[in-house]
Amino acid sequence: MLHKKKKTMQLREFFLLVRSDLYRYHGKVSSAVFLKNVLFTPGFKYSFWMRVVSYLSQHVFFRRVAYRIPYFVLMHYTYKYGISIPHNTTVGPGLYLGHFGGIVVHEKSVIGRNCNISHDVTLGQANRGEKKGHPIIGDNVYIGPGAKIVGRVNVGNNVAIGANCVVTHDVPENAVVVGIPGRVVSLDGAQEYVNFTDY
């Protein structure tokens, strides 16, 4: 996935992002499912308000008139649930936050489609060395509990990163990565870890 300059989000794109995020939780979308999840599912609740703030912040009129309250709601959930994914982070459709707590994502990270982020995951920036920069995560990637991805690391599509793994080097497509430092142990990928992607 290339790191491209973000274009202004249109309303249709906003609804598609919210719909795809919601679908990842149950494989269906309806008003009742939305209401249930936006009220009672911490991961979806956070991603919904992140999408709202992201959309409003890109439009001058909304940024002046209707930005502050959703922003403070997002900040409230940041502290309540321990999820810190800045609204200006590039996040593809189908984000799934299975459990809350200890999720920290650098704002310049890039996250592809259908990414599963578990609790205690960090996508962090390296400030020096050959991997100076921030992570770029491909599509259909599962990031297990406690995993850390630090620096300008390219994680390919359909990758599964194991619990407490520390990734500091590029990961090829379909890899399963475990350990400290992370090493590829198979090419079975993220199949059966990343579900409900047919939205």
- pLDDT tens-digit map of 70-116: 999 999 999 999 999 999 999 999 999 999 999 999 999 999 999 99
CA angle, 128 then 133 then 134, to 5°: 135
How high is the pLDDT of residue 62? 73
C-alpha to C-alpha distance for 39 and 130, rounded to whole angstroms: 44
pLDDT of 143: 98
Note the pLDDT of residue 65. 76
Residue 184: which of 162, 157, 199, 164 has the closest Cα? 162
- pTM for this structure? 0.92
Residues 105 and 192: their CA atoms lie apart, in Å, by 24
**Residue ranges of the chain with pLDDT lower than 70?**
1-6
The CATH number of the domain covering residues in 102-191: 2.160.10.10
Q: In the prediction, which pLDDT does 6 show?
A: 61
Q: How many helices (H) and strands (E) does the chain have?
A: 5, 15
Domain ranges of the chain: 10-83, 102-191
CA distance 24 to 7: 24
